[in-house]
Amino acid sequence: MLRLENIHTSYGPIKAIRGIDMEIKKGEIVSLIGSNGAGKSTCLMTISGILTPSGGSIVHGEQDITGLPPHSIVSQGICQVPEGRRIFPRLTVLENLEMGAFLGRSDFMPTLQRVFKLFPILGERKKQYGGTLSGGEQQMLAIGRALMSNPEILLLDEPSLGLAPIMVSKIFKTIQEINSEGVTVLLVEQNARAALRLSDRGYVLENGVITLSGSGRELLDNDKVRHAYLGE
């Protein structure tokens, strides 16, 4: 469904990712793990169009989407929830969700009901400014906002970062729930264990190159992964 072929992305002279090949199939949860600065976020931002790759191509279905601007990528059904949640602090919860539905890719009301069913707290707080929500609630809003665009593929960047443990497990449970409704998920996580547990497949990124890939189970059992990312 989404294929990265030999993708290179640089920040000026710094080559953040160097020749990545990846494939995400319909309905999968795929996680991308790696240490700080390995290029995980760069990879997501390259897919979502925030960064333009200096080489290689990104193919969605049959279509080459390399170098399209972010809003066109969203209209392709690929939506990123960036690191740090990035909700609009001075828009209300409802307005944040309306912005998620900006392109009108889905019927507004049913999608909104679906998001409120997934995150009842957002329904209760819909008139509050986004900036007044707690960290966990903001993460729910960020995911809910992305769902409003009715995405085929959801790119999640560090959804568990900085959240209380109880919230972390709730977010991971929700990701599974969203996936079971047919949304393909590409997940970037530092919490490698939790990510790999719910993933069909995973990739390990080191210094801008993929060094390992396999099913979630295989990676969890891999010695190298256990040492470097699971702290065993």
Partner 1 sequence: MLLQQLINGLTLGSVYALIALGYTMVYGILELINFAHGEIYMLGAYLGIIILGFFTAVGLTAFSLPLALGLTLLLTVIFSASYGFTVEKIAYRPLRSAPKLSPLISAIGVSIFLQNYVMITQGATDKVFPPLVSSAGVTVLSTRITFLQASIIVVSGIIMALLHAFIRKTRTGKAMRAVAQDKSMASLVGINTDTIISITFIIGSGLAAVAGLMVSMYYGLVNYFIGYSAGIKAFTAAVLGGIGNIPGAMFGGILLGLIESLGSAYISSEYKDVYAFVILILILLIRPSGLLGRNTEEKI
147 binds partner 1 (CB under 8 A): no
50 binds partner 1 (CB under 8 A): yes
CA distance 155 to 146: 9
Buried-exposed string 58-90: b where 16+ CB fall within 10 A, e elsewhere: bebeeeebbebeeeebbebbbbbbbbebebeee
CB nearer to partner 1: give 151 or 216.
Answer: 151
70 binds partner 1 (CB under 8 A): yes
Query: CA 219, 225, 226 angle in degrees (round to 5)?
Result: 105
Coil, helix or strand for 79? Answer: strand
Considering the complex, what minimum distance in angstroms separates the CB of residue 146 from partner 1?
8
108 binds partner 1 (CB under 8 A): no
Considering the complex, what minimum distance in angstroms separates the CB of residue 101 from partner 1?
8
Instruction: Kindly indicate which of the ranges 34-42, 90-98, 118-126, 170-178 contains the residues binding partner 1, using the contact rule CB under 8 A.
Output: 90-98
CB nearer to partner 1: give 72 or 113.
Answer: 72
CB nearer to partner 1: give 116 or 129.
Answer: 129
DSSP 128-195: SBGGGS-HHHHHHHHHHHHHTT--SEEEEE-TTTT--HHHHHHHHHHHHHHHHTT-EEEEEES-HHHH
Considering the complex, what minimum distance in angstroms separates the CB of residue 147 from partner 1?
11
CA distance 31 to 17: 17
Of the candidate residues 17, 24, 79, 228, the single one contacting partner 1 (CB under 8 A): 79
118 binds partner 1 (CB under 8 A): no
CB nearer to partner 1: give 75 or 128.
Answer: 75
